[in-house]
Amino acid sequence: MYMTQGLRRATKINPGKIALISEKRTFTWAEFQDRVARLAGALHGLGMKVEDRVAMLSFNQDRYAEYYYGVFWAGANVVPMNIRWSLAEHVYSIKDSGARYLVVDDAFAEMGAAIVKECPTVEHVIFAGDGDCPAGMLSYEGLVAEASPADDAFRTGEDLAGIFYTGGTTGFPKGVMLPHRALWASSMCFGAGANVTADDRNIHAPPLFHIAGSAMLFSLTIFGGSHAFIRVLSLIHI
């Protein structure tokens, strides 16, 4: 039970089928897996090690799916960040998780720069937006284009997959450490309960930093359906 298993299966069964649709971009399962492997290769090239933490602060988009699977593929841990947090909460989560890498989109590039000023342990900020890459950040598309595909790390079972922050009963962020086994099992149950099939095409409305949003992302990948992303829907309250 490992989180890249669903991606590998979907690519093997339907390599030419559309996997990701995001505004003007579409990628097949074969292209999706290739970009994931290249993102993992780029992270390794930046010095990322197994179980390093990679945070992301972004609205819903196709690169969010690539982020999840690219970090898993690289053998590292995801740290999805709440788009509604204050600067103080973002800084806390980065310091608490020990994230050395931060991925931001256009909407959160300014916040990303502010976070780095408070978190000197962040070594690289990767800009996964559609505009010009801000000074001091690395271009996500540039990294993916230039990197060689990495081998799947095949992290599995009780290996840590990510740290997901929740306000719980206090409203203050607390990191929940979830292994591959837990994410895989919950994704399978979610998909089976929702009768997800390879013929489904889902618009991701819940924000992907939230476990409700990522659960559908992981489930649909396992069952080989198609993902559609509309950024404005990520503003819907959960």
What average pLDDT does range 64-75 have in this prediction?
Answer: 98
pLDDT level of residue 237 (50, 70, 90 thresholds): very low
| Helices 5-13 and 211-223, axial angle in degrees (round to 10) | 40
Q: Which of 184-188, 220-224, 233-237 has the highest mean pLDDT?
A: 220-224
Mean pLDDT of 72-99: 96
> pLDDT-derived band of residue 235, with 50, 70 and 90 as boundaries?
very low
Whole-prediction pTM: 0.94
Up-side HSE of residue 54: CA atoms within 13 Å toward CB? 32
For residues 169 and 39, what is the distance between their CA atoms, to the nearest angstrom?
A: 36
Residue 132: the pLDDT is 97
- Whose tokens are 């969010």? That residue is 64
Q: What is the pLDDT of residue 232?
A: 58
The pLDDT tens digits for 161-214 are: 999 998 767 778 899 999 999 999 988 887 888 888 888 889 998 899 998 889
Helical axes 62-74 vs 211-223, angle rounded to 10°: 80
Measured distance CA(127)–CA(103) in Å, rounded: 6
In whole numbers, what is the pLDDT of the chain averaged over residues?
A: 93
Query: Nearest-CA neighbor of 1 among 164, 161, 190, 170?
Result: 161
What pLDDT does residue 191 have? 80
Nearest to residue 220, comparing CAs of 80, 65, 2, 77?
65
Q: In 3-state terms, what secondary structure has residue 174?
A: strand
Question: Which pLDDT tens digit goes with each residue over 118-169?
Answer: 999 999 999 999 999 999 999 999 999 999 999 999 999 999 999 999 876 7
Distance of alpha carbon 185 from alpha carbon 151, whole angstroms: 24
Of the candidate CATH numbers 3.40.1280.10, 1.10.8.50, 3.40.50.12780, 3.90.1150.10, the domain formed by 5-235 belongs to 3.40.50.12780
